Amino acid sequence: MILLFFSNSINAQTSFQISDSRTGELLYRVIVSENDQFLGFSDLQGNFTDPKIRNRSVSYQFKLYGYRDSTVRIESPSSELLEVKLQPTSKSLTTLVVSGTKYIQPLELQSVSIDVV
């Protein structure tokens, strides 16, 4: 009986549900990684399950444009759904160049006019 319980805790896959900390909205396409190694994206319901079964502590990183990056450290595998709440933030885009031409050419060779809107 003890061996069976021990076996279940080792074979647990870690699962998360990721949402907006202010609105509670479930977040889709959140990038999930471990030590800068891409693991996958959250699905339409904000869920992500680590495809690997791990028997050690793991730090998961969660990234989505418009939200602060978040790191969650899991000390041991868990079969319960863990909640991650990302905090919204505002980020500015750097210079954006929109150009159109009927010929395909590198940006450096195109004549460009700038309009401030």
For residue range 72-104, list pLDDT tens digits in order: 998 877 778 999 999 999 766 677 667 666 777
Q: Please report, to the nearest 10 degrees, the dihedral formed by the alpha carbons of residues 87, 93, 94, 95 taken in order.
A: 180
State the total domains in the chain: 1
Quick check: is 57 in a domain? yes
**What pTM was estimated for this model as a whole?**
0.68
**In the prediction, which pLDDT does 32 show?**
96
Quick check: is 91 in a domain? no
More confident residue, 52 or 111: 52
Check the CA dihedral 79-53-18-35 and report its sign.
positive
Quick check: is 79 in a domain? yes
**In the prediction, which pLDDT does 60 show?**
94
Residue appearing with tokens 């863990």: 82
CATH number for the domain harbouring residue 35 = 2.60.40.1120
Range of the domain at 40: 2-86
The stretch 39-60 carries a mean pLDDT of 90
Q: Has residue 71 got a pLDDT over 90?
A: yes
